[in-house]
A and B are shown apart, each in its own frame.
Chain A
Amino acid sequence: MVEMKIGIIEALRAITASLVILIFAVAPIFGLMYGTTCALTFGSFTVISPLELALVSLGTKTILVSLIVSGLIVILIVVFFGRFFCGWICPVGILLEYSHILTEKKERKGVGTLWRNKEKYAILLAVLAASLLFNFTAPYLFSPPGIFYRTIIYFISHGIVGADLTVLLLIFILDVLAIRYGRTWCDTLCPLGTIISSLSIVNLVKPKVDQKRCIDFDFNCLNCERICPMRIPLTRADNWAMMDCNKCLKCWMNCPVKAVKLEVFGYG
């Protein structure tokens, strides 16, 4: 049986994600900020997500001067903090993860292995190539946070539910069918998640297992690997596998012998 406490951090993550939704819904009313995670504008300053920047640049085969500064700032943040977005902000990921936690009754058998989810690189490559070769920008059809926020702002401002709902339902059905896999969408299919993973080279904040304290080999514990929503094989993960870490801190909170340390700036 997987031991897991639904603690203060789980609540905090749900609150941050809801707050972001609230900001996106309310800020345009006061004219403070417009847009969603695809692109935001505060006054004259624009923030653009790395996936959208890549698609626009590849599709038009130019470097957009107006976007390159803000784009690089976002890319730098991603390089240092990795998939923080996926664990704390993305509403789709959090909904999938929590619906999985709440419905899970049996022991989860599947423990991640290295390179289990390399399909995601194939999907990202294909999506970027499609933009470059025949100007088809597929991720706008199925990139989850974008369609989630867009559905909400479209409904608030116009009272209309657009084409997005179909895709959103499809994502949930895909994951509900595979309810025991939790965030399958996030770690194998999501193009935004993959581009964030691929960019998080430095990845400052990540959990690390203290091999001396870990009781994996004596008791076959692997609690951290079983509860990891991104299915990272934490006890034998290299830097490449750690790129998927979404900083949910579950492994850190739930280790029975406190062998999981949080490594910040290389110190832990």
Chain B
Amino acid sequence: MITRREFVKVLAGGATVLGVLKLVSLIPSGARADVVRPPGAVDKEYFNVLCVRCGICLEVCPTKAIVLAGFEDGIAAVNTPKIDPLIGPCEFFRGRCEEVMLCSKFCPTGALQLIDQEEVKLGTVELNPDECLAYMGKECVVCDEMCPVPDAITLTRDLKPVFHEDKCVGCGNCVNACPADPKALTLTSKGAKRAKWLR
């Protein structure tokens, strides 16, 4: 069995490793520390702990919009799911997940909670007028046509899109469809509404 000397050794070793882990967790994360989470994600402080990185959400996502976070999203968030609108839009507001949000339905731990779609806001889309075709004088209203949310994008009289932060749900349809290269639109987690973690 275990002697007292060995027990003390294990404890001392554990304390050392714990110190190393603390240092690793303090490695500063990149600029995009706050990533866009799939719909129904719980509060930021619990998400990285509740998510077991099983990969179920990225398997069930019909548009494959869910990708895994990498080292650039912070060491504690590696392999957690995030939304990449360049691969696909999140269809929780309109589309294949309109009835039930599949990622939240299949999440085994409750890191993604099955909440009412009305309460979901993934983030906000921001427009960069320097890249936007409409602002460059060309004819383009793709983002307005793709947007599933009424009044989130309005057109000015000369057909230039204007984004409304308060209406935007951050589904990424407009970002995915934007024909400009590089994209004039970016999806950020600004203003995201997360699910409350209930014990």
Say yes or no: A162-B24 contact (C-beta < 8 A), given A56-B109, A140-B52.
Answer: no
Residues of chain B contacted by A55 (CB below 8 angstroms): 49, 52
Give the chain B neighbours of A28 by CB distance below 8 A: 59-60
Question: In the bound complex, do residue A39 and residue B50 qualify as a contact, i.e. CB atoms below 8 Å apart?
Answer: no
B residues near A121, Cβ cutoff 8 Å:
10, 14
Minimal beta-carbon separation of B159 from chain A (angstroms): 35
Q: What per-residue 1/0 map shows which CB atoms of A115-136 lie under 8 Å from chain B?
A: 1001101110111011101111
Residue ID in chain A nearest B24 by CB atoms: A138
Quick one: which of A128-175 are within 8 Å of B by CB?
A: 129-131, 133-138, 140-141, 146-147, 149-150, 153-154, 157-158, 160, 162-164
Closest partner residue, chain B, to A58 (CB atom): B49
Give the number of residues in B that approach A within 8 Å (Cβ atoms): 48
Q: Is B17 a contact of A150 with CB atoms below 8 Å?
A: no
Residue of B nearest to A167 (CB): B78
Asked if A64 is at the interface of the complex by the 8 Å CB criterion, the answer is yes
| Chain B residues whose C-beta falls within 8 Å of the C-beta of A141 in the assembled complex | 75, 78-79
Contact of A240 with B56 at beta-carbon distance under 8 Å, contacts A56-B50, A119-B13, A136-B21 already known: no
A162 to B82: give the CA distance in the assembly, Å. 13
The 5 A-B pairs of least Cβ separation, nearest first, read A122-B13, A59-B49, A126-B17, A125-B14, A39-B54
Show 19 residue pairs from A and B whose CB-CB distance is below 8 angstroms, ordered by the A residue.
Answer: A28-B60, A35-B54, A38-B54, A41-B106, A41-B108, A52-B52, A64-B109, A121-B10, A122-B16, A125-B10, A125-B11, A130-B21, A134-B25, A135-B48, A157-B59, A158-B58, A162-B68, A162-B70, A164-B68
Q: Which residues of A contact B (CB under 8 A)?
A: 28, 34-36, 38-41, 46, 48, 52, 55-56, 59-60, 62, 64, 66-67, 115, 118-119, 121-123, 125-127, 129-131, 133-138, 140-141, 146-147, 149-150, 153-154, 157-158, 160, 162-164, 238, 240
